[in-house]
Amino acid sequence: MSDSSTIVDSLFATILDRKTNPKTGSYTTQLFSAGLDEISKKVGEEAVEVVIAAHSQGKERLISELADLTYHALVLLAQCGLTPDDICAELARRHK
């Protein structure tokens, strides 16, 4: 397993844990408490920030915004009962 897939798996495990075992003061717990509409809104906001960063804010900012988008997308996956493996399977299907 590559370092990037290891960190995604580790982060997703933490996200799932916060969903199952809410922790006071956790941003992830706050997102789950807010529900699907708010989580989806955050994904949209982060996607817009990625586009802006790509056009005018440099590579470091783009990486930061992509990391934010990835995190929020993982929270959305967990909220919807999906996993990163579901996305990987779809990418593999398309890659044929």
3-state helix, strand, coil in the chain (%, to 5): 85, 0, 15
State which CATH number among 2.40.50.140, 1.10.287.1080, 1.10.630.10, 3.40.228.10 fits the domain covering 3-95.
Answer: 1.10.287.1080
Q: Residue 92 has what pLDDT?
A: 94
Q: Which residues of the chain have pLDDT under 70?
A: 1-2, 4
Q: Residue 35 has what pLDDT?
A: 97
User: What's this model's pTM, rounded to 2 decimal places?
Assistant: 0.91
Q: Residue 2 has what pLDDT?
A: 60
Reading the block at residue 30, the tokens are 């706050």
Domain ranges for the chain, please list them.
Answer: 3-95
